[in-house]
């Protein structure tokens, strides 16, 4: 274990060993060492004994993110804690190697351009940071990772636990690649439970209840939910809708606004256009559904709770468990009952898998614009029938209109 008075220049010149790792102790700073691994990673490490017990090791930070002066400052804080009988591993770091700082950097550099950015950020902010707030990311071990994921799964949120596992696995893998940490605690850590595929299809009577309850729900979620029913669009395709995206009776979304990363056109039926024409416009904002003018609406959970409450008041009973995305699946099923061709339904949904995948998707470039419009007009007529309270029947479209 070499000991010498480290300098900024000497730290930068230290070469990695051919195998394993080597500790270079800083003379005059007892217990402070620069641990250099054969892969080239350099970590500031503090060796100490608490209450005269076994020798412990604490990672203070990584070079070059933490320089020599910062490492000595961190060493002083840790040594002072030991002198008070406190465990320095439990002290909150204030430098760039804390989990909070690394997570923010990861979100900015690795996730900012992903369509799922807001969802990933929400998971990190709500379910991870409160648990690991202020901790050194290098001190988060496999047991910590397992306890976090188990805690989320144990409260009944197995799907969220699986997603959190995936997000953090990528975060820690990114941190390893950047030389911030040496190992990913989520590597080979099994995900809890199994993926539960939703297959809930709302009956016509249930769709009618949601439609009427949405009509009694305040702006902006009332008309938003009705548009979801009429368009079969994804939640955020409508929630983040911009006025310039509505052109000549069609919603035209660019690739960055769709899950498939492909441009997508959604023809608006006459009832859908009527809803949009009655929506208020906020001066200076291009957003259709906004309360601030700067960001699109959020808070779908509370909005759905309001709709559920309105349904219970109107019908005297609660609607069996459903989710907002079930509306999209139910619309697709309803279109199929109307006799709409599968390729047209997939075009309406913006799917690029199924019948439009592979070689077929490469050479079949027909967009089905006319067929989509005819199908959505027929769907709007069906919604009008089931919400009018008058008996009706399913009237299939003609083969020519949908094939």
- pLDDT tens column, 296-335: 998 888 899 999 999 999 889 999 999 999 999 999 999 9
Strand partners, 25: 3, 33
Do 220 and 346 lie in one domain? The reply is yes
Cα separation of the two ends of the chain = 77
Do 173 and 149 lie in one domain? The reply is yes
Domain-located, residue 103: yes
**pTM of model > 0.75:** no
| CATH number of the domain encompassing residue 274 | 1.10.443.10
Domain-located, residue 185: no
**Which of these, 236, 300, 293, 238, lies nearest to 268 by C-alpha position?**
238
- What pLDDT is stored for residue 360 in this prediction? 42
Domain final residue, candidates 90, 117, 137: 90
- C-alpha 91/C-alpha 271 separation (Å) is 60
| CATH number of the domain encompassing residue 38 | 3.30.160.390
- C-alpha 179/C-alpha 50 separation (Å) is 29
- What pLDDT is stored for residue 197 in this prediction? 65
- C-alpha 37/C-alpha 228 separation (Å) is 55
Kind and range of the H or E element at 75? helix 68-83
Q: Cβ distance 80 to 74 under 8 Å? A: no
3-state secondary structure of 102: helix
Do 152 and 290 lie in one domain? The reply is no
Do 377 and 246 lie in one domain? The reply is yes
- What pLDDT is stored for residue 70 in this prediction? 87
**Residue 193 phi, psi (nearest 5):** 60, -160
Domain extent, residue 107, equals 99-177
The count of structural domains within the chain is 3
Do 261 and 390 lie in one domain? The reply is yes
Do 319 and 276 lie in one domain? The reply is yes
- C-alpha 6/C-alpha 26 separation (Å) is 5
Domain-located, residue 329: yes
Do 376 and 306 lie in one domain? The reply is yes
Do 355 and 248 lie in one domain? The reply is yes
The upper half-sphere exposure of residue 178, i.e. CA atoms within 13 Å in the direction of its Cβ, equals 20
Domain-located, residue 193: no
- What are 94's two structure tokens? 């204030």
**Which of these, 74, 131, 146, lies nearest to 100 by C-alpha position?**
131
Do 34 and 15 lie in one domain? The reply is yes
Domain-located, residue 159: yes
Cis amide bond preceding 386, omega within 30? no
Do 282 and 343 lie in one domain? The reply is yes
Do 173 and 309 lie in one domain? The reply is no
Domain final residue, candidates 45, 66, 90: 90
The upper half-sphere exposure of residue 399, i.e. CA atoms within 13 Å in the direction of its Cβ, equals 0
- What pLDDT is stored for residue 361 in this prediction? 47
Query: What secondary structure does DSSP assign to 165-213, as a single string?
Result: HHHHHHHHHHHHHTTS-S--TTTTPPPSS----------HHHHHHHHHH
Which parts of the chain register pLDDT below 70? 1, 91-95, 195-198, 353-366, 389-403
Q: Taking each helix axis as running N to C, give the angle between helix 204-215 and helix 325-337, from 0 to 180 degrees, rounded to the nearest 10.
A: 130
- What pLDDT is stored for residue 299 in this prediction? 84
Q: How would you list the strands of the sheet with 32-37, edge to edge?
A: 3-4, 21-26, 32-37, 42-49, 55-63
Domain-located, residue 135: yes
Domain final residue, candidates 28, 62, 90: 90
Domain-located, residue 334: yes
Do 250 and 282 lie in one domain? The reply is yes
Domain-located, residue 194: no
């Amino acid at each position: 274990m070499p000991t010498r008075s480290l300098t900024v220049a000497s730290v930068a010149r230290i070469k990695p060993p051919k195998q394993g790792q080597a500790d270079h102790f800083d003379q005059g700073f007892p217990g402070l060492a620069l641990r250099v691994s054969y892969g080239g990673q350099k970590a500031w490490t503090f060796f100490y004994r608490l209450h005269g017990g076994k020798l412990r090791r604490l990672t203070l930070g990584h070079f070059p993110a933490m320089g020599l002066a910062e490492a000595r400052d961190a060493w002083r804080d840790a040594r002072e804690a030991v002198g008070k009988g406190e465990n320095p591993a439990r002290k909150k770091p204030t430098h760039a190697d804390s989990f909070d700082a690394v997570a923010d950097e990861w979100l900015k550099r690795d996730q900012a351009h992903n369509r799922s950015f807001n969802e990933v950020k929400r998971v990190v902010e709500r379910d991870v940071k409160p648990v690991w707030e202020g901790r050194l990311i290098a001190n988060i071990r496999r047991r910590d990772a397992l306890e976090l994921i188990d805690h989320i799964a144990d409260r009944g949120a197995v799907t969220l636990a699986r997603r959190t596992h995936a997000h953090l696995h990528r975060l820690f893998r990114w941190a390893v690649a950047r030389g911030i940490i040496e190992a990913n605690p989520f590597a080979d850590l099994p995900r809890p439970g199994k993926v539960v595929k939703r297959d809930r299809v709302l009956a016509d009577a249930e769709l009618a209840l949601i439609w009427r309850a949405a009509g009694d729900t305040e702006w902006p979620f009332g008309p938003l939910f009705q548009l979801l029913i009429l368009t079969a669009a994804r939640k955020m395709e409508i929630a983040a809708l911009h006025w310039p995206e509505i052109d000549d009776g069609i919603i035209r979304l660019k690739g960055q606004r769709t899950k498939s990363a492909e441009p997508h056109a959604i023809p608006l039926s006459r009832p859908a256009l009527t809803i949009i024409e009655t929506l208020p416009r906020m001066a200076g904002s291009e957003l259709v559904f906004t309360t601030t003018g700067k960001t699109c609406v959020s808070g779908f959970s509370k909005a759905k709770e309001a709709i559920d409450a309105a349904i219970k008041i109107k019908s005297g009973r609660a609607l069996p468990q459903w989710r907002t995305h079930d509306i999209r699946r139910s619309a697709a099923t309803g279109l199929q009952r109307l006799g709409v061709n599968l390729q047209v339904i997939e075009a309406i949904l913006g799917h690029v898998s199924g019948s439009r995948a592979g070689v077929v998707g490469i050479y079949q470039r027909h967009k089905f614009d006319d067929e989509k419009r005819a199908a959505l007009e027929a769907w709007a007529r069906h919604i009008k029938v089931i919400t009018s309270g008058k008996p009706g029947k399913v009237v299939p479209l003609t083969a020519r209109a949908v094939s």
